[in-house]
Structure formats: structure tokens, C-alpha cells
Structure 1
Amino acid sequence: MEAIYYYPWMFTILATIFGLIIGSFLNVVIARLPKMMEQEWRDECAESFPEYKITPTANPISLSSPRSNCPKCGTKLRIIDNIPIISWLMLKGKCHHCQQSISARYPIVELLSAVMSYVVAVRFGASWYAIAVIVLTFALIAATFIDFDTLLLPDQITLPLMWLGIMLALWHISPVSLYDSVLGAISGYLFLWFLYWAFKLITGKEGMGYGDFKLLAALGAWLGWQYLPIVILLSSVVGLIFGLIQLRLQSKGHDHAFPFGPYLSIAGWISIVWGEQIIHWYFGAVFG
């Protein structure tokens, strides 16, 4: 820690390398956490409703077991295959055994994790708050890709994030006061909850999932209630742009379900890193 104090650039380098390594683990979380949730639901149903003769999970999976393998041929990955980004490039994006293509998402997630960790380290410097925001960054990356894949936002991610935001305020690590943090969590949840029920009463359809409520509550706990309008506005703009692009590329109807969590995550992260500058720019442009 003393070396980092005298050489602040070391924190930036360490944060970037750590982000690259954790990015590899995030790929495991993104792939396995939804399956673990499904496995848990199945086992609970089997225990609660024995009359339906639901078969419990025979070989439960976890984030550490079984070992990572090729999704095409099932071959266990070697240690050399798990070097972030480098392994994918060395293998030319193919499995060493079956030569089937490996998704470019794996190195993209690793690179994204490293770059975002670098940005946070540069923005906040060597501090406990910077470390906390890096943890938040990892969680938002995992939540984003899981929601894209499954339209699910796991409680295992959103709820700990909310409590961590409140605890950081309680311990005076966060620049947000405890009052603003708690009010931000409450306001974030209730805003989307009211929006959900208003939309359902008017249209008879569900416009979003409960995971979105919890994610906005978590962002409110980190940012305070004052920043929620920015998060909601940014997420709506980003969601509209990406939604139109996705509709055009995939030729899907307007009734097709799209995840909102990724856009909340993007808007929340931008607000945490550059929210103050955005507010100053906005008021300067409008009232200046």
C-alpha cells in the first residue's frame, strides 16, 4: 500500500490486470449462474411438490465445478487455454481439440472488464471507493450479459449490490450520505414498481421484470436519489437506440421482449463515473 501511495500509477496497472483476470471468471458467472438458478428452482419444486415426480438435479454445478470445458465437444480446457484474451488469440478463436469456433464474447468480456477497471482507477485514484466501484463494475458486467441471454437479473447480484451501496454510505467510504443512499434505494425500487403496475393496468401486459426494480434500487443506493433521473433518462435513451438496432437486425416484432437491465447498468456505471460532470454540463448548457 505504501508503494501505491508513492506511485499512484501502480494502482491503475494493478486494477487493469485484476480486471482482465476477473473478466475470465465473469465469463464463468455469466454462463453458469442462470443454470445454477434453474437447478435450484428445479430442486425446490421437486422437494415441495413430490406428487409431480420432478427429478432433482443429479450432477449439480457451481461456479467452481465442473472444470471449464469446450461447449461444443466437452473437452476440458488446459491451463494454457485460460489466459485472458491471449489464449483466444493464440488459438485463433477455435477449440484446440475439435477446432470449432469459440465465441468472441469471451475475450470481449475480459477486455471490457480490464478497460472499465482502468477507467475507474484513473477516475477515482487509489482509494477504497475505487476498489468498491471496480467490484460494482464486475457485477454490472455479469448482470448485463446474463440479462441479454436469459432476461433474468439474479438476486445473487442485485441484492448484495444494494446492501453494499448502503454499507459504503454508512462507513463514509461513499460520497453519498446514508440518508441519500437509503432514499435512493427506496425511490429506485418504487419508481419502476409503480411504472410496472401502471403499464400493466393500462395494457394488461408486463413491461419489465422485478429484477429491474432491484437493480435500480441498487444503483440508487450507490448514487443517491438525486442521480436517479439521470440513470432513468440515460437508460431510456440507450435502450431506445439499441432496441431499434436489434429490431432492425433481427427483424423481430414490437411485442418481442427486450432486456432493460443492461441499459440500466450502462447508465448507472456512466452516472457513477461521470455523473457530476454530466450534471454540470447539463445545467451549464441549459442555464448558462
Structure 2
Amino acid sequence: MTITIFHHSLMFLLGLSFGSFYALIIDRLPLAIINNHSIKPIFIAHSRCLDCHTRLAWQSKIPVLSYLYQKGHCRYCHSHIPLQLLIIELISGLLFLGCELHYQNNTTAFFMILFGSAGLILAIIDMSYHLLPDIITLPMIWVGLIFNIMTGTSSDLNSSILAVVSGYVISASISLGFLWVRRKPGLGLGDAKCIAMIGAWTGLETLSHIIFESTALAACVMCLLVWLKRHDKNQPFPFGPFLLITSFIQLNYRYP
């Protein structure tokens, strides 16, 4: 019993640590892409305060605890630290712990953590920048196919390959068609690649359900935000988060 609690606690702490790294990627990757800079510094540059640019000491990089101890402010310039950092760390910790508890198969748990982590990063970047970076979506297509090879059957793999191709082709065609007719972007090509990524993990049949459910959910949320005057209906609305949340739920039902 004691060993089990220790193991679960270790997984949660590991998730918190990775969550801190995910927050770093979410903060740096979109700006590097938008400004056409190298992404290498994202992984090797030291963490600094966003306002005073002071290099953070190790005490300021402890997940969750440093945020709470410093009351959400930089210890050097006392500027406000975004609450998003704390939320990302907690979600990541719960993701690691939840997958470890939910899946009896360690291989499945590992891959679900990978998918959930990529989904978390992509969803927040899309909400903030309307961007779904290829550097995440394209490699995750291959990871999804490997996942099906290791945990599924040949029919699952064939369905996943078909879902990747058809998901991207159909989505990209809709995107280009909307652009041609309306003279403004509708479904972005980043969304098309995200759909292809999801298809690699779920297969064709499940992908069709995900697209339908996420579209309905996104439409409901958008209508609510427009009604509350929190969103302009003529402005772009991120579709990626709804795709990723729905797909993660579907995968959890598929692999209990």
C-alpha cells in the first residue's frame, strides 16, 4: 500500500515537472515560428522572468510550490506570473497520474501520456495564437502509427493510415474550398494536419465521430461566447482544442 501511494505520488510529481517544461514550450515555440527564428534556443535557453528578464534561480522553478510561495509574482521584480503556468503544471500532473491509474497496460499508459501532452501543448497554443505547429503534429502522426502497431492489429493500422490520408485530404480540400469561395480562411491547414494526427491514433471510424462531436461542441461554445459578447463572430475561432479534447476522451473509451 505504501509503495503504491509512493509510486502514484512520483507519477504526479513527474507530471508537474513535465508541465513546467510544456509551459516553456507553449511560451517560446509560437513566437519562434511567427518570427521565423530557430527553435533550438527553446530547449537550451535558461528560464527568465518575462518582464525583468532575470535568470530564474532553482527555487523559482519548482513546479506549483514556487508559484504558491511567491504568490504568483516574480521574486525579483514582483511582476505578475500568468496563472496559466500553474494550470498547465496541474493538468500535466493529473494527466500523468490519471493515465497511470486508468491503464493497466504500461505501454498504453505511456502512449496516452504522449498524446495527452502533445494535445495539451497544441490546444493552448491554438487558443492563444491560432497556430498548430507542424513540429508537433507531424511527428505525432508517426507516433500514432507506432502506437497502433504495438497495441493493435493490422486492420487497426490500415484504418489509421487511411484516416491520416483521408482526414488530411478532405480537411485541406474544405479549407481551400472555403478560402476560394469566401475569400477568407475557414478550416486552417494546421487543423487538417491535426485531424490527420488524430486519425493516426484513432482510425477512420472513430475519427469521423470525433470530427462530428468536436464540430458540434465548437459550434455550441462559439454561439455561447458570441451571445455573451466575448467573441466576434467574424474573428477566427480555434477548432484545435475541441478536436484534441474529444479525441482524448474517445481514446480513453477505446482503451480502458
Within a 5 Å distance, the mapping from 1:251-266 to structure 2 comes to 251-266=230-245
Amino acid at match of 2:192: F
**1:34 aligned partner:** 30
**2:123 aligned partner:** 144
**1:25 aligned partner:** 21
Within a 5 Å distance, the mapping from 1:48-197 to structure 2 comes to 62-170=41-149, 172-174=150-152, 177-197=156-176
Deviations 1:239-288 (A, max 9, x none): 123323443556442110111111111111111112578xxxxxxxxxxx
Over 3 Å counting, the alpha-carbon distance change for 1:258 and 1:199 in structure 2 is same
How far apart, in 1, do the equivalents of 2:216 and 2:7 lie?
Answer: 34
**Alpha-carbon distance, 1:208 to partner:** 1.9
How far apart, in 1, do the equivalents of 2:72 and 2:227 lie?
Answer: 28
Amino acid at match of 1:99: H
Q: Paired residues, what number?
A: 253
Deviations 1:88-112 (A, max 9, x none): 0111111111111111000100001
Q: Pick from 8, 15, 34 the counterpart of residue 11 of structure 2.
A: 15
8 Å CA contact retained: 2:96, 2:113: yes
Q: Pick from 175, 185, 192 the counterpart of residue 206 of structure 1.
A: 185
How far apart, in 1, do the equivalents of 2:195 and 2:55 lie?
Answer: 38
How far apart, in 2, do the equivalents of 1:213 and 1:64 lie?
Answer: 27
Deviations 1:135-187 (A, max 9, x none): 111111111111111111101100011111112223x3346721111112122
**Alpha-carbon distance, 1:17 to partner:** 2.4
How far apart, in 2, do the equivalents of 1:136 and 1:33 lie?
Answer: 18
Q: Please give the TM-score of this superposition, normalised by the length of structure 2.
A: 0.89
Amino acid at match of 1:155: D
Amino acid at match of 2:25: V
How far apart, in 2, do the equivalents of 1:16 and 1:163 lie?
Answer: 27
Q: Which has the larger radius of gyration?
A: 1
Deviations 1:33-84 (A, max 9, x none): 1122234x368xxxxxxxxxxxxxxxx8612333111111112111011111
8 Å CA contact retained: 1:36, 1:61: no
Across the aligned residues of Structure 1 and Structure 2, the Cα RMSD in angstroms comes to 2.4
Amino acid at match of 1:21: S
8 Å CA contact retained: 2:174, 2:187: no
Q: Please give the TM-score of this superposition, normalised by the length of structure 1.
A: 0.80
8 Å CA contact retained: 1:139, 1:157: yes
Over 3 Å counting, the alpha-carbon distance change for 1:42 and 1:72 in structure 2 is closer
Deviations 1:172-210 (A, max 9, x none): 334672111111212221231232234334433220211
Over 3 Å counting, the alpha-carbon distance change for 1:91 and 1:14 in structure 2 is same
Instruction: Give percent identity, aligned residues only.
Output: 29
Instruction: Answer with 118-127 or 145-154: which moved more.
Output: 118-127
Q: Pick from 214, 226, 237 the counterpart of residue 247 of structure 1.
A: 226
**2:211 aligned partner:** 232
How far apart, in 2, do the equivalents of 1:246 and 1:86 lie?
Answer: 34
**Alpha-carbon distance, 1:134 to partner:** 0.2
